[in-house]
Structures are given as C-alpha cells and as structure tokens.
Structure 1
Amino acid sequence: MFLTFQVVIRDRAGLYVLDMKRNQFIAQTGLASIGARLGAGKPSKVESWPIAVFEKPIQSLDYDRMGEELAKMGVQGIEATIRKGGHIEPRDAEAEVPKMVESLGKNGQKALIATCNVNSASSENADFLRILKANGITRYRMDYFRYDLTKDLLPQVAENTAKLKELEAMNREIGVQALYQIHAGAKYAGSLAWDAAMMFKNVDPAQA
C-alpha cells in the first residue's frame, strides 16, 4: 500500500511533490550511486517521474490560468486540493473535477494526485473516489489519523490499522491508491515511526 514515496521540496513558487515508487527513489538518490561504487554491476536505468505542484499556494487561480502558469514552470501537473476549504469542495467534485481536468489538459497538465478528507471506508467516500477515478485521478493523499493524547496510543493504533485494511479493500474495488503523508507533531498518527510501521505492515502497497 505504501511503497510510494512523496518527496516534498520547498521553493518560492510553492511545494513541488515528486512522486515515485521505491525503485525510482533508489535509482534517483544517492542510494543508486552507493550501489554502483560498491561494484553492484551495471547501474539500473533511471526512470522519469512527474513533478506536481501542491495546489494550495495557487488555488486562487481559475483552472485555465492555473494550467497556463504550470506549463510555464515546466511541471507535469498538480496535487489538487479537493477537500473542505480546498479549490474544490467535496460536495462539488462531480461537477467541478471534470472542468478542472479538461482545463489543465489544454496546457498538457494533469491532476496527478488529489488531496482529500478521506481516511475511512464509507459509501460517501467510495462515491467521491469513483468521481476521481472517472476523471483519471487514481492517487489521493488521504486525511491524517489523529491521536487523542489523553488516551492510550496502542488501542488507537489498532483502530487505525483496522481502518486502513477497510480502506485497502475499498481502494482495490475502485482502482485507486491512497498516499499517507507522515506529518510532524505528536497528535498525528505515523509521526512516531514505530506506529506507522505497525499500521502499514500488512497493507498492500498497490492500494495505499
């Protein structure tokens, strides 16, 4: 579920999300050169990967203007904010997502990832994800799990793990993949590292 990395680079123009799979991550970082220096044989071919701008800093632009500006930057698309308070409200997704995708496409851009409020399996969330899938968006950054720091963590980790397994099944049925960002701060699940290992241990990388 989570063999996909999100590498975030801060720049004056915004946040560029470099999305790659594990083999790409190894090939395009120092890990690849380390292997070559150790005489591991012929270096593996470096794969290309898309660069997406996190939409939040530019979501005040209309879709056409956004596509034009992204094309000038030389990137491949956006991580679209389709969430409460985002460029597109979830309730408006069915009407607005096709417009956004069409407008971006005029300038060779795509909505590569959607940032949304989904972090559990429900009929409402399933309908939302089907809208994304129907418009070519097959990856979404899910909402965080948050801890109640006044209570024991282990039962909460177990509860989150169960939710992930249910989400995994829903993603598989729809044909989408969830991405979970490890956020700093004690209240965010995954920030302790050991809890992330427990939650994601038995989750299929193809679905999250």
Structure 2
Amino acid sequence: MTSISRREFTKKSGIALSMIPFAALPINLLEFEAPLDKLNINIFSKHLQFLDFKELGERTLEMGFTGVDLTVRPKGHVQPEEVFDILPKAVEAIKQSGAQCIMMSTAVNNANNQTDINVLKTAAECDIKYYRTNWFKYSKDKSMEASLKDYKTIVKDLSVYNAKHGLVGCYQNHAGTSVGASLWEIKQILEFVNLDTFGVQYDIRHALVEGGLSWTNSLKLVKDNIKTIVLKDFKWGQINGIWKPINVPIGKGMVDFDRYFKLLKKYKINVPVSLHCEYDLGGAEHGSKTPSISKKEIYNAISKDLKTVQQLWQQA
C-alpha cells in the first residue's frame, strides 16, 4: 500500500471495488477506500410489508437498494414464533432477486429467552449478520442507575452469544423515555460488551431530536461503537397546538446531512445503512399491508429518498 500513491491505488482498484460487495472486503481495505464509495443502503422492510418475500427482493433491487433490513418481530415480515420455517425462505427469496439480506430488526431482549435465541440462531444460519434489538424500558421499581446496571448484563450476554454465532447486535438510540434516548445511556450499557459483536445502531434523526445542538458530541461519543446506521429526517411542527417532531422525506427537514456525512467520512464510518421513510405513505410508513396510496407512489417516494441520500453522500 505504501509503494503506490492513493491516486494510483484508486485508479487501479476502482473497477474491482465496484464489483465486490462491501461485506466481502478486507477490513483494512474498507477503512482505506470506504469514504469514496456509495453507502451500503438497505430498505427497512416495515415500509413494504404489503409485499411477499420474492417481490420484496425484486422491488428492493429495482429501486436501487443493496438489500433489505428485514423485520423479524411481532407484526413484521417474519413472526418470531415462525422463524425456523419462514426466515430461511424469506432470505432465500430475497437473495434470488439479487438483493442482500444481512440486516434485521427484531424484538430480541436477552440471551436467556428461547424465542430470542431461536431468532438469532436461525438468522446466523441464514447469514444475517446484523440485528437490532428491542428497546429497554426503565423499571418503575428501580432507580435509573439500577436499571442500566441490569441492562449491562443483558447486552454482555448477547455479545457473548453473538461472538459464538458470527452475529453483531445493535441497540438503536430512540427519542423518548426508554433507555437510549441519550447516547450516554447506551454508552453505559455497552461497558462490558464484546465491542466486536455488540454496538450502536446510530439514528441521526433521533439523535437530533434529543440532542439538539449537541448531536455532534453524541456521535463522537459512540463513533467507535457504531455497527449500523439509520437514515431519516424530521422537522419540528405543531399538531393540534402541540409541538412535535414531524417526519419528512430526506433533505426536507432539520438534519444537516452534509455535516453528518462529512463527520462519518472523517471518522471512517461506512457501515450498513437502513433507510426509514416514516412520513405519510398511506400507512406504509407504519407497516400497513393495505396502504391507501398506490404501490407506485410508495416506490417513487422511497426511490427519491434513496437518490437524495446517495447524492448527499457523494457531495459531502
């Protein structure tokens, strides 16, 4: 690597890199060239739950996504109690279309729950590497500090299980009153984990809602723990006289994607991305199987978000 210039290396390897999936690249090569490449963007299947697995894969590829962040949870594409039978079929159908399925969003809570273990074990067998857990709640009968201490043990056990099965667990920061609205809470529960097998699913929308002007601090705090990221946008507005965060298409809200993407490149963070489209899509934004607008309208809106993200990444 030191015997040729960066310009020469980029020129000689550009064609090869464009043909190799990110997951197959050596770690050192990813770190060297990742900021110059497109993001590995997966569609959150919650917004396409009106599709069967075959069409989900086909539409994912047609819209330009790399793959699917599959919902494997109650009311999702795959129900946890049916995971042994349905998940392998789902992943195979998606892969046959040419799309990848290396991410899933779950209701996994701990490594001592048999249903959770069934989900994780089956996912590992299907070559799904990354999963998002459920969110933890603060106990009404314990102090916040005591609750966080309990969750430290839970995520440590999950990280140990992950290490044995080639999985990477992710806890998403989410605005509200559950554990993880503040990235400082997540940083605490990660204290004893295997950092290679459990980390953060960083959500810039929720980080900005909770962090305001300090979101850059939260990003810096957990930058070495980020395993996957979520992209979506919002703005503050009044609904029936009450100020609330309102979800909007990418680039139409308050998220400073230029600054955010510049920081990701600075920190050399180019991990699998889940694109969420939680503005009005006729119910598809909430996982409706019978949305009130046409499929074409939904695909067009999602495709526009994807194109915007790719352009913003290249420009940053």
Bin for the TM-score computed over the shorter chain = 0.7 to 0.9
Q: Distance in 2 between matches of 1:83 and 1:51?
A: 21
* 2:80 equivalent to 1:84: no
Using the TM superposition, give the Cα deviation of residue 123 of structure 1 relative to its aligned residue in structure 2, in angstroms.
Answer: 5.6
Partner of 1:13: none
Q: Distance in 2 between matches of 1:171 and 1:131?
A: 12
* 2:134 equivalent to 1:134: no
Superposed counterparts of 1:19-168, under 5 Å:
44-46=32-34, 48=37, 49-122=39-112, 124=114, 125-148=116-139, 151-168=142-159
Where in structure 1 do 4 or more consecutive aligned residues deviate above 4 Å? none
Give the residue type in structure 1 aligned to 2:34.
Answer: V
- The question of whether the paired residues in 1 share the 8 Å contact of 2:130 and 2:169 is answered with yes
- The counterpart of 1:205, out of the listed 195, 198, 220, is 195
Partner of 1:173: 164
- The question of whether the paired residues in 1 share the 8 Å contact of 2:42 and 2:65 is answered with yes
**Partner of 2:76: helix, strand, or coil?**
coil
Partner of 1:185: 176
Q: Distance in 1 between matches of 2:167 and 2:183?
A: 25
Using the TM superposition, give the Cα deviation of residue 151 of structure 1 relative to its aligned residue in structure 2, in angstroms.
Answer: 4.1
Using the TM superposition, give the Cα deviation of residue 169 of structure 1 relative to its aligned residue in structure 2, in angstroms.
Answer: 1.2
Using the TM superposition, give the Cα deviation of residue 126 of structure 1 relative to its aligned residue in structure 2, in angstroms.
Answer: 2.3
Q: Distance in 2 between matches of 1:119 and 1:174?
A: 17
Q: Distance in 1 between matches of 2:175 and 2:166?
A: 29
Give the residue type in structure 2 aligned to 1:69.
Answer: R
Give the residue type in structure 2 aligned to 1:45.
Answer: E
Aligned-pair identity (%):
26
Cα deviation, 1:116-161, whole Å, max 9, x if unaligned, reads: 1112112612232111111111111111111135642000010111
- The question of whether the paired residues in 1 share the 8 Å contact of 2:57 and 2:68 is answered with no
Partner of 1:14: none
Give the residue type in structure 2 aligned to 1:85.
Answer: K
- The question of whether the paired residues in 2 share the 8 Å contact of 1:52 and 1:112 is answered with no
Gaps of 5+ in 1: 1-18, 28-43
**Partner of 2:128: helix, strand, or coil?**
coil
Using the TM superposition, give the Cα deviation of residue 80 of structure 1 relative to its aligned residue in structure 2, in angstroms.
Answer: 0.4
Query: More deviation in 142-151 or 115-124?
Result: 142-151
Cα deviation, 1:52-75, whole Å, max 9, x if unaligned, reads: 000101011011111121111111
Partner of 1:30: none
Give the residue type in structure 1 aligned to 2:173.
Answer: I
Q: Distance in 1 between matches of 2:96 and 2:132?
A: 25
- The question of whether the paired residues in 2 share the 8 Å contact of 1:70 and 1:76 is answered with yes
Considering Cα pairs closer than 8 Å and 6+ residues apart, tell me whether 1 or 2 has the greater RCO.
Answer: 1
Using the TM superposition, give the Cα deviation of residue 112 of structure 1 relative to its aligned residue in structure 2, in angstroms.
Answer: 2.0
Q: Distance in 2 between matches of 1:126 and 1:91?
A: 11
- Quickly say closer, same or farther: Cα 1:148–1:111, change in 2 above 3 A: same
Query: More deviation in 103-112 or 84-93?
Result: 103-112
Give the residue type in structure 2 aligned to 1:113.
Answer: M
Q: Distance in 2 between matches of 1:74 and 1:127?
A: 32
Gaps of 5+ in 2: 1-22, 199-316
- The question of whether the paired residues in 2 share the 8 Å contact of 1:147 and 1:156 is answered with yes
Using the TM superposition, give the Cα deviation of residue 167 of structure 1 relative to its aligned residue in structure 2, in angstroms.
Answer: 1.2
